[in-house]
Amino acid sequence: DTEVTQTPKHLVMGMTNKKSLKCEQHMGHRAMYWYKQKAKKPPELMFVYSYEKLSINESVPSRFSPECPNSSLLNLHLHALQPEDSALYLCASSQVARGPLNEQYFGPGTRLTVT
């Protein structure tokens, strides 16, 4: 199974709402990632988890809060977002975060619209 699943596929939320994005993989990977992608732009790294510990936070605003409950699950909690946060949010995983076994497997993404 080389699949990374993300739920929901689409999400519309108001600026005062709290919502969560979910990502799951069952490949035994120990590194998981969140990326943000605006239209016609490349993905931008947000967070990296390695062995369930947060390793990189790319200066992401605190209204985005990642959580890695176990090695298979990655959540992104959203609170008080702005309309400019509307984007495709991609989750990825890799065997490890460093070294040549770093090829990442991406999920299909959650398309988020903030109204």
Applying CB under 8 A, the residues found at the interface with another protein are 4, 31, 33, 42-45, 48, 50, 55-56, 90, 92, 97-100, 102-109
Q: Which residue number, 13 or 105, has a Cβ lying nearer to another protein?
A: 105
Residue with tokens 């977002």: 81
**Min CB(79)–another protein separation in Å:** 24
Cβ-contact 110, 88 below 8 angstroms = yes
**Min CB(50)–another protein separation in Å:** 7
Q: Which residue number, 78 or 109, has a Cβ lying nearer to another protein?
A: 109
**Min CB(27)–another protein separation in Å:** 12
Instruction: Report the alpha-carbon distance of residue 110 to residue 115 in Å, rounded.
Output: 16
Q: Which residue number, 15 or 101, has a Cβ lying nearer to another protein?
A: 101
Q: Which residue number, 77 or 98, has a Cβ lying nearer to another protein?
A: 98
Nearest in space to 76 (alpha carbons), one of 88, 95, 26: 88
**Min CB(8)–another protein separation in Å:** 15
Q: At 84, is the secondary structure helix, strand, or coil?
A: helix
Give the strand order in the sheet containing 4-7.
4-7, 18-25, 73-79, 64-70
What tokens does 37 get?
A: 């992608």
